[in-house]
Structure 1
């Protein structure tokens, strides 16, 4: 790995050094002439792109302002616009308050109401901790990728969005198959899928569309205490916070055209229906071909959302998402997990880099639907009730195939099936969220009940062999037409089956401020899990207790925090049929939940007038009670397997000078199977799901702030990964995917209402791979143009 990360490491150091540039801050409060705080007022520095919108209390803050003289404007529909001449020095915090009166022109049309109320539930930071905690107050580590970053980088898919988060990389692309057809990523040594929307379960079997994303929150560590077991990973979880309606008319239209036949049209329209009801609709049409010789994806997505303010105490939020998609995916190329490796070089795969080994006729459809309804009722000044209903439905209908290593150093056998399945989830939560004092100590507490149910239906064909693929010659003897495959599968059927899981939970979490600078978090969850399949009675029942503790000390209040946490996660294990060593006495065996425990410590900063936000931490995770084969009976399974994962993470977001935005991250993970049946082949080795040991992400974007070139912007960055042992077993050997460095760049022009961005990915056209006992080529150089208009 020496020398592989030199360029990215130098950029990371440059970011840290450059972030120390000296700028100032302007903040203040906006009120109406009758003394009411006013939300959604636009406060901006005239002639620049710097500005802010007031919050529920009328407060605004503009940071990273170079010293000099400016005109500060304050405007809102129906109120008079005001301007102030100001002068700011380096490291100065200037307070400028405004009082706006009603405009004579619109006086009869506009009523300004008192909007002072707690709106923490509209912020993703609330979702992350289920409490109104700022990042510096939260003992857990997370990265948030905002929609501004997605727009700036012309992001059109979920994987490219997550390349901005520290310590996460994709293992598998979406397969579209039922149950787990979404993408798999690796985080802190463990595989994870995106399964949460607004902190609630939302399952999909295909890709996610970024059109409705306000932010993507990558929450680190086993988070079973707050989020339960069905949807999390020991490495963390991926949550999507969706766009919410706001109380003014506005929106945007965006068109993206690019390589491989990319055509994408999105629209975002927000409309106040009345003084108390607001709606926002996000929609996207996407069509794109593969960089290989066959393959495509196309989808239509629409997400209507509503906000209803029934009273000053009661607010409803309703979010829906509907996606219709179809894709022809290249088959996964699996190395044989049960025989010694017959490959020792990536060369033979590189020779077939652009061969898809599929056809556009062998497509799969993945329609999905999601609904979330939340009611927030302010019981009093100290307590708020949150009632949530979440439903998701995703279907699979079409062809899924994969290539399996024949262990002769050349050939792969294709297996194909026509999948027909459906996954439904329901989640109901009742939370009581409090902010109160006991004995002079501030407490922020959540008390909650959670009911989760999932149902998986399957009525697919069986798996049929469909020819072989030679990597040395590229010859494919399989049938790649829909009619031909249908004839192969004509008499094949797996039968109708179903599986159902239910989880009932109760949890409580409390953050106590012993002093303004010292706080502690104590949390616990109790889960009762049950499952059944295909008409059987309940065949599994498990109870799990999951604690969580955290400690935060801010030596410099609102600037620096030192934190430590203990976090627990667990997975309910499905029953397994076992027998005696001679095959007699068959029986169903149940297990205890598998458990993970994390210990982590680190530091967070938000310094230099909020210009540097950084996090550095060290974590140590142990997983116990993993199911493994009984060393004394191959027909029996026992618990006792253990995995250890530890590492460091460094994340940085900075605005060192006016117009310059920087994102950087570095992670190093060491994972090992520490206890297992030696004959299993994993003992003492790095798990294949752990991904590359080292990951680096970086992005810098600079926009000229004044002069004839004002609005012209330049972006540059990329991702780097160490080598990855995609297959790593003593019984088979080790196959390593090479390390890689990928560079991207952007050129943009932004005006008040429109922007044009030219984006190039993988500038050096590097061939690189991902995998999880698989070898999957990644996209080559591609270019896109984004045209955006705001209204």
Structure 2
């Protein structure tokens, strides 16, 4: 911990030292209301900023002398203000009043399209926190649209490398399981604030994503019931008055072909009804044999502005994908990785494909009550589907020349109704104290279940010779399940919650955040249809507080501390006992946030300690039941840096150190075991250099590195008897070249440049006493082109 605090103090010293001569001010419109998101440009230099929610701005690192600021915004006349600064002085301008003018609307929009935005100044509305990110006492990292484009990302799974502390433990192009800060976050994934106790089975395509928000630490206060490690919120593209006509094409390794269309704008010029339509298709194989993948998505959205203060938005997403094998696995031989041919097929063509589909509809209403208060409401309904059969690697013969496989089928379904109503506003008590208040109600009614089957009792039946593999096993053999291995289950999750927050800003330097959430949960889980069980559904209540402190040495720097709690239901029962109690957790965290180089570079660093109580594991003796074990504690350090170092050079870099271990358990022998999938360290970096002028204008080059440290490969209660066993570390390198000219952009990304063999994820099987793992993708490329009309 001393090293971590030393790093934080060093970062703080660097940020404070960077403060120099500056200019600050405030921008308002003719009626005196603060003007938000106004461009403030330093004339003669490629430097500038935008105003915050209070119309304020600041530009640092100015040389002594006379300067000119240019103020511009959609619907306003451009204005220029001259001023003079002295060395190491802060120049405060008089309030700048902009005049309304719709004639320059198109000009401002066009110029705005040319900027590359890596930094998000405020969270999306779906996170409900109506304050700049630098003032929020929590580590919230955002991957913007520009980040997704630079890295050539194709889906949400690709995006996780853009932030610290998040790893994948299972899945590929369909569903996936994530860890945040060493704790499970599979059910902590949301889309525009909708989600939680449900498993999304078809990932969002990158073409439908505007940004992805990663909230570290307990986040139940924001979006229903979440794990103490955090949550992931995907924000989709929304209707806009700006005209958007884009078509993109892509091709890549393993016969990857894709296309997408992005359309948006007004139905009539200057009209109140706007739209957005994103649709596309992708097909590809994989690096291993007998593989395939296809995804189709269509996402229409409409928005109607009743007035300039009220609007309603209707959005619908349909995403469907099929894959021959969502979780491709191999097996080690004598615990040696890569002993099998790297592309050897473990599946069989006659098993068919897995299908995953998500259907999501959301209706949102927004109303500006007055200059100080806003009302927001949304209602959503989603369904998810997961159907298919698969063959899973199960073990090896004693002679190590034959692989044993298990067949399994699943028909998974899920649904969720969700309604949210919240109001936020601000008022002052005295001249020095400002309150930003958030009050909200949350309602949810969700459920999921599955019919399933498999041949787990006879793992040696479906054999595959390593030296002479024979495929196209008779279908009757693949689909045959013993009656005792067939069944069904269903689960319910209903909640109502009230939450209140007061964001108290004192003398513009100190912020006290006081919040709380009262949640009433009704949960249930049942096997084989016995819903008449009196303990099928139970109701539990909890109040979870949130206390934060933030100090603002300047507008571009904050130091924060937070204590937060979480509350999450668990499904399942203890044999001979009762239902599992809810998961409870807490987080203690301190950190710093900084905006450098005129708010073009963002730095976020924090240390934390998370406790997760009432952890459960599968009962190894009584099938279908669980053991209530104990506690997992996760401590660590995270740092994220993103933005522009210069006008030509941009950076995306992050580092995390995580120590997540079992600290309490009924079985004392597992105390000290690392939580499954937790890496001790991760590091990602991405640098891009862009030519802004001359013959090479529009050309850019990028390079990146990914490092994965030691990850735990054992589950507590299954494999932990062998002690801590780790998957191998790896480091892989990526590169890109992009060219933008006129309305066409072309990007080539190459991944795993050195063709490194590595383990994407996996676990140690105590039955086989071997590693079952997913090999990482060899060197591959993606070439993508976007045309704007």
Query: Of the candidates 523, 526, 529, which is equivalent to residue 521 of structure 2?
Result: 529
Partner Cα distance (2:623, 2:450) in 1: 29
Q: What number of residue pairs does the alignment pair up?
A: 736
Deviation at 1:89, TM superposition (A): 12
Partner Cα distance (2:58, 2:409) in 1: 56
Verify the 8 A CA contact 2:39 2:73 in the aligned structure 1: yes
Verify the 8 A CA contact 2:348 2:391 in the aligned structure 1: no
- Give the match for residue 119 of structure 1: none
Evaluate the alpha carbon distance shift between residue 352 and residue 124 of structure 1 in structure 2; reply closer, same or farther with a 3 A threshold. Answer: farther
Partner Cα distance (2:145, 2:105) in 1: 35
Asked if residue 257 in structure 1 is aligned to residue 247 in structure 2, the reply is: no
- Give the match for residue 157 of structure 2: 159
Aligned 1:321-400 pairs, distance under 5 A: 321-329=317-325, 333=329, 343-348=334-339, 351-360=340-349, 362-400=352-390
SS in 2 for 1:223: coil
Verify the 8 A CA contact 1:342 1:407 in the aligned structure 2: no
Verify the 8 A CA contact 2:381 2:417 in the aligned structure 1: yes
- Give the match for residue 774 of structure 2: 776
Aligned 1:124-203 pairs, distance under 5 A: 125-127=123-125, 129-174=127-172, 182-193=175-186, 195-201=189-195, 203=199
Verify the 8 A CA contact 1:454 1:500 in the aligned structure 2: yes
Aligned 1:283-298 pairs, distance under 5 A: 283-298=279-294
Evaluate the alpha carbon distance shift between residue 104 and residue 572 of structure 1 in structure 2; reply closer, same or farther with a 3 A threshold. Answer: closer
SS in 2 for 1:211: helix
- Give the match for residue 448 of structure 1: 440
SS in 2 for 1:125: coil
Asked if residue 607 in structure 1 is aligned to residue 607 in structure 2, the reply is: no
Evaluate the alpha carbon distance shift between residue 347 and residue 246 of structure 1 in structure 2; reply closer, same or farther with a 3 A threshold. Answer: closer
- Give the match for residue 575 of structure 2: 578
Evaluate the alpha carbon distance shift between residue 550 and residue 74 of structure 1 in structure 2; reply closer, same or farther with a 3 A threshold. Answer: closer
Verify the 8 A CA contact 2:74 2:102 in the aligned structure 1: no
Verify the 8 A CA contact 2:77 2:98 in the aligned structure 1: no
Aligned 1:181-580 pairs, distance under 5 A: 182-193=175-186, 195-201=189-195, 203-229=199-225, 232-274=226-268, 275-329=271-325, 333=329, 343-348=334-339, 351-360=340-349, 362-406=352-396, 408=398, 410=400, 412-440=403-431, 441-463=433-455, 473-476=466-469, 480=473, 483-484=475-476, 487-488=479-480, 494-495=486-487, 497-532=489-524, 533=526, 534=529, 535-536=531-532, 538-555=536-553, 557-579=554-576
Partner Cα distance (2:367, 2:75) in 1: 30
Deviation at 1:23, TM superposition (A): 12
Verify the 8 A CA contact 2:127 2:223 in the aligned structure 1: no
Query: Of the candidates 671, 690, 694, which is equivalent to residue 681 of structure 2?
Result: 694
Verify the 8 A CA contact 2:172 2:326 in the aligned structure 1: no
- Give the match for residue 762 of structure 1: 752
Verify the 8 A CA contact 2:346 2:392 in the aligned structure 1: no
Greater mean alpha carbon deviation, residues 306-315 or residues 637-646: 637-646
Partner Cα distance (1:706, 1:153) in 2: 23
SS in 2 for 1:163: helix
Verify the 8 A CA contact 1:305 1:318 in the aligned structure 2: yes
Deviation at 1:251, TM superposition (A): 2.9
Verify the 8 A CA contact 2:380 2:419 in the aligned structure 1: yes
Evaluate the alpha carbon distance shift between residue 498 and residue 678 of structure 1 in structure 2; reply closer, same or farther with a 3 A threshold. Answer: closer
Partner Cα distance (2:385, 2:555) in 1: 46
Cα displacement string for residues 593-615 of structure 1 (whole angstroms, at most 9, x for unaligned residues): 22111110111111332233211
Larger RCO, structures 1/2 (Cα 8 Å, 6+ apart)? 1
Deviation at 1:165, TM superposition (A): 0.8
Verify the 8 A CA contact 1:331 1:401 in the aligned structure 2: no
- Give the match for residue 707 of structure 1: 694
Evaluate the alpha carbon distance shift between residue 772 and residue 630 of structure 1 in structure 2; reply closer, same or farther with a 3 A threshold. Answer: closer
Verify the 8 A CA contact 1:330 1:357 in the aligned structure 2: no
Evaluate the alpha carbon distance shift between residue 206 and residue 758 of structure 1 in structure 2; reply closer, same or farther with a 3 A threshold. Answer: same
Unpaired segments ≥5 residues, structure 1: 1-8, 107-121, 177-181, 336-340, 580-587
Evaluate the alpha carbon distance shift between residue 498 and residue 574 of structure 1 in structure 2; reply closer, same or farther with a 3 A threshold. Answer: closer
Partner Cα distance (2:146, 2:367) in 1: 31
Unpaired segments ≥5 residues, structure 2: 1-6, 107-119, 764-771
Superposed CA RMSD in Å reads 4.3
Evaluate the alpha carbon distance shift between residue 153 and residue 606 of structure 1 in structure 2; reply closer, same or farther with a 3 A threshold. Answer: same
Evaluate the alpha carbon distance shift between residue 433 and residue 38 of structure 1 in structure 2; reply closer, same or farther with a 3 A threshold. Answer: closer
Deviation at 1:68, TM superposition (A): 14
Cα displacement string for residues 340-371 of structure 1 (whole angstroms, at most 9, x for unaligned residues): x98433243xx332123124552111122111
Evaluate the alpha carbon distance shift between residue 705 and residue 100 of structure 1 in structure 2; reply closer, same or farther with a 3 A threshold. Answer: farther
Greater mean alpha carbon deviation, residues 612-621 or residues 304-313: 304-313
Give the TM-score taking structure 2 as reference length: 0.82
Partner Cα distance (2:571, 2:503) in 1: 35
Partner Cα distance (1:430, 1:554) in 2: 31
Deviation at 1:724, TM superposition (A): 1.8
Cα displacement string for residues 230-280 of structure 1 (whole angstroms, at most 9, x for unaligned residues): xx3321111101212221222321111111111111111112124211111
Evaluate the alpha carbon distance shift between residue 485 and residue 174 of structure 1 in structure 2; reply closer, same or farther with a 3 A threshold. Answer: farther
Evaluate the alpha carbon distance shift between residue 591 and residue 419 of structure 1 in structure 2; reply closer, same or farther with a 3 A threshold. Answer: closer
- Give the match for residue 109 of structure 1: none
Evaluate the alpha carbon distance shift between residue 278 and residue 157 of structure 1 in structure 2; reply closer, same or farther with a 3 A threshold. Answer: same
SS in 2 for 1:161: helix
Verify the 8 A CA contact 1:331 1:400 in the aligned structure 2: no
Deviation at 1:531, TM superposition (A): 2.7
Asked if residue 596 in structure 1 is aligned to residue 588 in structure 2, the reply is: no
Partner Cα distance (1:262, 1:568) in 2: 44
Evaluate the alpha carbon distance shift between residue 283 and residue 56 of structure 1 in structure 2; reply closer, same or farther with a 3 A threshold. Answer: farther
Partner Cα distance (2:628, 2:451) in 1: 32
Deviation at 1:429, TM superposition (A): 1.4
SS in 1 for 2:447: strand
Partner Cα distance (1:653, 1:712) in 2: 20
Deviation at 1:461, TM superposition (A): 3.9
Evaluate the alpha carbon distance shift between residue 731 and residue 49 of structure 1 in structure 2; reply closer, same or farther with a 3 A threshold. Answer: same
SS in 1 for 2:147: helix
SS in 1 for 2:721: coil
- Give the match for residue 116 of structure 1: none
Partner Cα distance (1:302, 1:661) in 2: 32
Verify the 8 A CA contact 2:209 2:234 in the aligned structure 1: yes
Cα displacement string for residues 674-693 of structure 1 (whole angstroms, at most 9, x for unaligned residues): 111337x5221111132x10
Cα displacement string for residues 684-716 of structure 1 (whole angstroms, at most 9, x for unaligned residues): 1111132x1000011111111111111111111
- Give the match for residue 117 of structure 1: none
- Give the match for residue 766 of structure 2: none
Deviation at 1:394, TM superposition (A): 1.1
Partner Cα distance (1:420, 1:524) in 2: 39
Partner Cα distance (2:348, 2:44) in 1: 53
Give the TM-score taking structure 1 as reference length: 0.81
Aligned 1:56-135 pairs, distance under 5 A: 125-127=123-125, 129-135=127-133
Verify the 8 A CA contact 2:141 2:163 in the aligned structure 1: yes
Query: Of the candidates 644, 648, 668, which is equivalent to residue 633 of structure 2?
Result: 644
- Give the match for residue 728 of structure 2: 738
